[in-house]
Every structure is written in structure tokens, then in C-alpha cells.
Amino acid sequence: VVVGEPALAAIRPESILLAAGDPPPAPNVLVGSLAGISHLGDVIQYVVMVNGREILVRLPRHNAPRLTVGEAVWCTWPAEAAQIFSARQARLVIPDPTTDAATAAT
């Protein structure tokens, strides 16, 4: 990524921490609404809606907070967890839902 050009950041679901209540002190914090919880064996996956976008969070069951769908939650992650891409690579990083739907229909 060239300094001064638009960029995108991607964070793996396993690198995001989730908290309810007051936001934790962290440099990277997003507030959202808990939209879903899936139990995947030793991992719990949370779906958090932030500004109309889904954020996936995967936590080991033993570290997973007890949360309720519809509850306000805060997602945080360390700066070193972010992978930075040029905005020109947006199609590679952010799937186009219209393309995905068209592909699934064929």
C-alpha cells in the first residue's frame, strides 16, 4: 500500500475480541449489535452487525462471553492483527453480494 492512497484493513475472526457493557480501552473499537451465535465444537462464532455489515468473531468456548442476540457488543483487535490492502484490491477482500448470489444461482 502506498502512503496517502486509499486502503482496506482485514482482520481474521479469531483475532477479534468481543465484549458487552462498556467498551474496553483499545485503539481499535467498533460497536455493533449481536445478530447470531453458532456453537462450532470448541469454538463459538458470533455474527455482529456494524453499519449494515456482518463481522464474524470466533472465540474458543472457554474464553467466550455469555451474550444474547440483539445485545450491544464491542469488537476490539490489536493493531498488529490487521492486514492492509490497497483499495484497488477491494474485489479480492470484500465479496460482492450480487456476484455471489448470481454465482450461487448458476
Q: What is the pLDDT of residue 21?
A: 81
| 71 three-state secondary structure | coil
> Terminus-to-terminus CA distance in the chain, angstroms?
35
Tell me what pLDDT residue 5 has: 87
- All 3 cell numbers of residue 94? 470484500
Taking residue 44's Cβ as centre, other Cβ atoms within 10 Å add up to: 21
pLDDT at position 1, please?
76
Model confidence, pTM? 0.78
What's the half-sphere exposure (Cβ side, CA atoms, 13 Å) at 92?
Answer: 9
Using an 8 Å Cβ cutoff, are 35 and 85 in contact?
Answer: no
pLDDT by residue, tens only, the chain of 106 residues: 788 888 888 899 999 999 998 777 778 999 999 999 999 999 999 999 999 999 999 999 998 999 999 999 999 999 999 988 888 877 776 666 565 444 444 4
d(CA 22, CA 32): 12
